[in-house]
A = this chain, B = another copy of it.
Amino acid sequence: MVKKIVKRGFASDNNSGVHPEILKAIESANAGHVVGYGSDPYTEKAGELFQEHFGRETETFFVFTGTAANVLGLSGVTRSWNSIITAFTAHIEQDECGAPEKFTGCKVLTVETPDGKIKPEMLTKHMHGIDFEHHSQPKVVSITQTTEMGTVYTSEEIKALADFVHDRGMLLHMDGARIANAAVSLKLPFKAFTTVAGVDILSFGGTKNGMMYGEAVCFLKPGISKDFKYIRKQGMQLASKMRFISAQYIAYFSNELWRKNARHSNSMALLLAEKIKDLKEIKITQAVQSNGVFAIMRKEVAEKVSKTYFFYPWNEYTSEYRLMTSWDTAEEDIDNFVALLKKELGI
């Protein structure tokens, strides 16, 4: 047997396990036969819950990973001669091994941002060559909420981007791998900063917030992606025993588990930031608006501490590190981490 592991670090919210209520829902769905591939009552119910949260016209398709949700969602609204514009720090640019290009055939264009957040004026540099066959045609702007730096777009900021893209016949995609953390941070229902603000396609993530696996592609406008069922299947993302993804989402939306988990991880990040922000040599580099803390610290210190509490460097050139909290981070984890950090800092 594999020895049980109880250590919790700050490497990533997906290093955490699964919330017990999610596991219970999986068990509960495990009875008898249901039709495979999503024609089951669990999936029907889960789809309805997405409509409650995002609007009655929402079409939801489950896939396995966040990368798949992004890539297939974008594939559903583009042709290969389009371009997709995103932040240089975006997951689709840095962390998907070129899956967007390989699968959609599109060009991915980037803009530089200080905090992971795109502003309309940053997009201008890519708004040329329209109708010119030599040039990839801009079709989608993709934002991440919360961003890869833990910052959060306000619904006004999202609306401004939506207006910019819609004015140009384009669409707005949101990578919501940590959308629950954003909702908690903004103190808003999901719909307010997505459907209502003008988002067209959403990758809804649950795995980083206590689920086991299974993300969702949500088309928030009607008719936006005909034939997506073929894209999902050809994209190798159609689950045979889909009920076990759907059951997780039913539990996730019930009793506000999503909110409970995200509220906890956000508050842990704030606590962590509070406790380290004034330490000598430590410099927090991004506003702590969700469940990540970005901080500059000396490399030797970081490496020593991360042997016990694992976390990743974010930018080796600036000696910046990323500390992620998660739904199961305990206050004592933070206390222990801070104590060790202080020791290494010689405080």
Contact B236 A103 (CB under 8 A): yes
Given the interface contacts A96-B134, A241-B14, does A8 sit within 8 Å of B33 by beta carbon? yes
Contact B7 A33 (CB under 8 A): yes
Q: Does A102 contact B (CB under 8 A)?
A: yes
Given the interface contacts A14-B241, A237-B236, does A97 sit within 8 Å of B33 by beta carbon? no
A28, A66, A99, A103: residue with the most chain B Cβ atoms closer than 10 Å:
A99
Contact B212 A35 (CB under 8 A): no
Contact with B along A203-243 (1 / 0, CB 8 A): 00001100011000000000000010111111111111100
Interface of A is mostly: loop
Contact with B along A27-46 (1 / 0, CB 8 A): 11111111111000110010
A5 to B67, CA, bound (A): 32
A42 to B235, CA, bound (A): 27
Q: How many subunits of this chain does the assembly comprise?
A: 4
Chain A contributes a number of interface residues (CB within 8 A of B) equal to 94
Interface positions, chain A 53-112, Cβ under 8 Å from B, are 63-68, 71-72, 79-83, 93-99, 101-103, 105-108, 110
Given the interface contacts A32-B8, A64-B64, does A235 sit within 8 Å of B232 by beta carbon? no
Contact A9 B33 (CB under 8 A): yes
Q: Does A3 contact B (CB under 8 A)?
A: yes
A residues with CB within 8 A of B: 1-9, 11-12, 14-18, 23, 26-37, 41-42, 45, 63-68, 71-72, 79-83, 93-99, 101-103, 105-108, 110, 124, 128-129, 133-137, 207-208, 212-213, 227, 229-241, 244, 247, 250, 310, 316-317, 326, 328
Q: Which 7 A-B pairs have the closest CB atoms?
A: A81-B230, A102-B105, A6-B32, A14-B240, A68-B236, A97-B233, A15-B33
- Known contacts A11-B36, A81-B230, A213-B240; 11 further A-B pairs (Cβ under 8 A): A11-B33, A18-B30, A18-B241, A23-B26, A81-B97, A96-B233, A96-B236, A97-B134, A98-B105, A98-B234, A101-B105
